[in-house]
Amino acid sequence: MTTVLTSQKSETVVTNSLKNTTSSLDSLSPNQQLLPLTAIVNSNDHLEIGGCDVVDLVSQYGSPLYILDEVSLRTACQQYRDAFSKHYQGQSQVLYASKAWSCLAVCAIVGSEGLGIDVVSAGEILTALRAGVSPSLIYFHGNNKSADELSYSLEFGCTIVVDNWNELQTLDLLAKEQSIAMSLAPRIMLRLTPGIECHTHEYIQTGHIDSKFGFDPNEIEAVFAFVAKSSLNCIGIHAHIGSQIFELQPHQDIGGVMVQWFKLAIEKYGLKFSELNIGGGLGIRYVESDDPPSIEDWVQTVSAGVTDAFIASGLPLPKLLCEPGRSLVGATCVTAYTIGGSKTVPDIRTYITVDGGMSDNPRPITYQSKYRAVVANHMSASLSQTVTIAGKHCESGDILIKDIQLPETNVGDILVVFGTGAYNYSMASNYNRLPKPAAVVVGTGDSSLIIKRETREDLLRQDCLPERLYQSTKV
Ligand code: LLP
């Protein structure tokens, strides 16, 4: 048997002798693919992405290595944008939820595709700004923004998505203090908990009532009354119901839930609402059994839900914002590892160890997430063993993939794990003092470094050793 990775929603058939797709790349929804759109098997029987041989990339840049396919990322951005133009009659703006992967190159690519950026810290604001994104397209989220972060955001004129009372009051004070320096009142939106539940991992559900995020709908009138008297320019409301969602119904329902609050704000409190942000959450296909809707189907569904709800309530269509993270960047990247040793526990399992693990991909240990992988230097080799891919950390739970079918492997083979673009680099750590991997962007046969590999010296950059402690080691 050989590895057969099929993509149900397209004609792409990726086998261990990975056939290139016959359909045109831009008709495939990247979030429904296991591999980046440009993945093929080349004449050396190696995996190739963006015209670059993955084995050569590892020789050049080392491993572990994040490999980002520019075509896949641009295609995902364009599909979101085009789907809104096709299915929504009002204005729209797609924001990239940069918590999925905040770095200069990713922000620059999505920015150049006309997307704005959703940020959750001053660090993510700085990254988006340095990547050249206009502050008018930066929306600042978070459930505990510090006064310092709020001032920083106000300085550039980003829109702040206010999460709670404390923040609202702090912001109003800051706005009053800074009003001389600022020509315009701060633009804010209000995040509400819509009470919509969806089927995803408990840690990544956010829209149900028992959530740390957003204002409770029961206090919404008091919030609107406060905002109406404040120095803030409140332009609308926001909700985000969760992540890695495959059902369309919860996103279809958002319009109907939000419109009632939109109407109340305008008609009872005289607020000048014009924007509705329905968050992100569309899932991706990590393993064959995952079956997310396409980007276009998702956009069509939310557009129809919002349009129907606003028409029924007699309000003009709002500017519709959404903020996908995972479905933009998740399937555009793979991680290449070098295989080290193996260990067979008779009648139980064989462990194959790679040179990374929970520090570059904490999702399996955190959410029991499943991943798919291939041996990139023997793509057509027969699948002959069921193995467990273990990371190199001192932790028994550091398992990247349990019970995967692979060909025979040798020390030095290159294992490539798919779907690592979202919440991998951004959640990476230096556990066990492992340096964070490098990342490259590939396209049309070229590769460029977008994140340098950390060095051992980098690991000590923030350490301080008071002299008396150093002396004491010499006693
Ligand atoms: N907007 C808000 C307010 C969010 O909290 C999130 C994700 C998004 C947008 C983007 O959601 P997406 O389109 O990526 O589903 N670390 C977890 C995911 C946490 C999601 C946090 N919020 C994971 O690795 O699965």
The residue type of 132 is G
CA dihedral (133, 324, 12, 400) in degrees, to 10, reads 100
Cα dist from 301 to 49, 251, 297, 305, whole Å = 32, 7, 6, 6
Give the pLDDT confidence score for residue 12 in this predicted structure: 41
- Specify the pLDDT at position 177: 79
Angle, CA 29 vertex, CA 28 and CA 31 arms, to 5°: 135
Ligand 1 atom nearest 326 alpha carbon: 14
User: What type of residue is 226?
Assistant: F
Q: Give the closest residue to 327 by CA, choosing from 361, 368, 298.
A: 298
> DSSP letters along 313-335, please?
HTPPPPEEEE--SHHHHGGGEEE
Contact 203, 242 (CB under 8 A): no
Q: d(Cα 133, Cα 38) in Å, to the nearest integer? A: 27
Q: Is residue 394 among the annotated active site residues? A: yes
pLDDT of residue 24: 67
Name residue 267's amino acid.
E
Closest CA to 138 of 160, 167, 155: 160
**What pLDDT was estimated at residue 53?**
98
Identify residue 21 by its one-letter amino acid code.
Answer: T
Element (H, E) at 415: strand 414-417
Q: Could you tell me if the CB of 367 is within 6 A of ligand 1?
A: yes
For a substitution probing ligand 1, which of 201, 326, 366, 368 has the most ligand atoms within 8 Å of its CB? Answer: 326
3-state secondary structure of 187: strand
Instruction: State how far the Cα of 374 lies from the Cα of 49, in Å rounded to an integer.
Output: 13
For residue 175, what pLDDT is reported? 84
Q: Model's pTM, two decimal places?
A: 0.94
Helix (H, G, I), strand (E, B) or coil at 68: strand
250 cis-preceded (ω within 30 degrees of 0): no
Tell me which residue has tokens 């085009």.
82
Rounded CA-CA distance 100/9 in Å is 24
Q: How many residues does the chain have?
A: 475
Q: With a 6 A CB cut-off, is 243 part of the ligand 1 pocket?
A: yes
Q: Which amino acid is at 42?
A: N
Q: Residue holding tokens 């027969």? A: 382
Rg of the Cα trace of the chain?
A: 24
Q: Is the CB of 141 under 6 A from ligand 1?
A: yes
- Determine the Cα–Cα distance for residues 355 and 390; give it in Å rounded to an integer: 9
Atom of ligand 1 nearest to the CA of 141: 3
Q: Which atom of ligand 1 is nearest to the CA of 427?
A: 16
| Residue 7 near residue 34, CB atoms below 8 Å | yes
Integer Cα distance of 451 and 428 in angstroms = 13
Q: What is the DSSP letter of 382?
A: B
Gap between the Cα atoms of 214 and 224, Å rounded: 14
What is the residue extent of each domain of the chain?
Answer: 2-69+330-459, 141-324
Instruction: List the catalytic residue out of 77, 103, 322, 394.
Output: 394
Tokens (6 digits) for 4: 């057969």
Cβ atoms of 234 and 211 within 8 Å: the answer is no
User: Domain 2-69+330-459 is classified in which CATH homologous superfamily?
Assistant: Lyase, Ornithine Decarboxylase; Chain A, domain 1 (2.40.37.10)
CA dist 284 and 271 (Å) reads 37
Residues 6+ away with beta carbon under 8 Å from 77: 94, 96, 109, 110, 113, 114, 115, 328
CATH superfamily, with its number, for domain 141-324: Alanine racemase (3.20.20.10)
Identify the residue whose C-alpha is closest to ligand 1 atom 24: 423
The whole-angstrom separation of Cα 261 and Cα 214 is 14
DSSP structure class, residue 17: T
93 DSSP β-pair partners: 321
Position 474 scores a pLDDT of 67
Residue nearest to atom 9 of ligand 1 (CA): 280
Mean pLDDT in consecutive groups of 10 residues from the start of the chain, 475 residues: 44 40 71 97 98 98 98 98 98 98 98 98 98 98 93 94 95 78 82 76 59 89 96 95 94 93 96 97 97 98 97 97 98 98 95 98 98 97 97 97 97 98 98 98 98 98 93 70
CB distance 326 to ligand 1 below 6 Å: yes
Atom 8 of ligand 1, residue of closest alpha carbon: 280
Residue type for 100, please?
A
Q: Do domains 2-69+330-459 and 141-324 have the same CATH topology?
A: no
